[in-house]
Amino acid sequence: MKKAVIFMCVLLFSAVAFFHFGNDILIALESDDVSVRLPTSGNNFETYSRTLSTMGRTHVHSKLKPALLDAYKALEKTLPQVTWSYAETGWKNGGNFWPHHTHQNGLSVDFIVPVNDTRSSKSTMLALSPLNLWGYRVRFDKEGCYKQYQIDFASMILHLRALKDSCIRHKIALKRVIFDPPLLAKLRSQPTFHLISDLPFMKGPAWFPHDSHYHVDFARAAL
């Protein structure tokens, strides 16, 4: 009985450790391929879920990956106080990616909105867990507020600008940005919106709320 308990504890510990570090391990074992995993974390960014990344839900096209990472690197200088979180991207082999209608070719990325804590007015991260479906169940109001969180529209603009610039350097087309219309209106009202005013924002609402995250599609033709 004692040996069985020890075995189960070791098994449980191994499973927890694998899902915590698994994405990093699997990245180290990757061969040169068209589809690659995004890093679990970097100096100023992290995945929305270590477990779901290990399960393979954060693969992107190999030529898109450096563009995404270079944008984060640029933000280390312009916004050193902000830590970013990326969310779902797609499967290694593409195809149906439930519950999304897109994310099927390694060229779609969801980014969790940067937020400030209204109690301290400082940059923080939206708390993500299975209880709120890693942020996908969080609903911000039309002013960009949810509990103690306020969407940091100014930082979001700088992230999209960094993505825009990085895509130009890497010769990738930024095809579409999806953000809920009421919140897009707030974004447009920011004094720095001119930095990204030429980006192709979708005008209407998507089938699923895009308030706790913004969705970016990149163009296949440019890759």
CB 176 within 8 A of CB 151: no
Provide the 10 A C-beta neighbour count for residue 129. Answer: 10
> pLDDT tens across 14-62, in order?
455 555 667 888 888 887 788 999 999 999 999 999 999 999 999 999 9
Which residue segments constitute the domains of the chain, with CATH numbers given?
Answer: 2-222 (3.30.1380)
Q: CA-CA distance, 161 to 57, in Å (whole number)?
A: 25
Q: Output the pTM of the full model.
A: 0.90
172 in helix, strand or coil? coil
Band (pLDDT 50/70/90 cuts) for residue 2 is low
The two three-digit tokens of residue 213, written as one number: 């995250």
The two three-digit tokens of residue 39, written as one number: 């890093």
Q: CA-CA distance, 129 to 113, in Å (whole number)?
A: 15
Q: Phi and psi (nearest 5°) for 133? A: 55, 45
**Bond before 99 cis per omega within 30 degrees:** yes
Q: CA-CA distance, 115 to 83, in Å (whole number)?
A: 10
Q: Phi and psi (nearest 5°) for 215? A: -105, 135
What is the distance of C-alpha 101 from the center of its chain?
Answer: 17
Per-residue burial over 195-208, b if 16 or more Cβ lie within 10 Å, else e, is: bbeebebbeeeeee
208 in helix, strand or coil? coil
Provide the 10 A C-beta neighbour count for residue 128. Answer: 20
8 pLDDT higher than 80: no
> pLDDT tens across 137-166, in order?
999 999 999 999 999 999 999 999 999 999
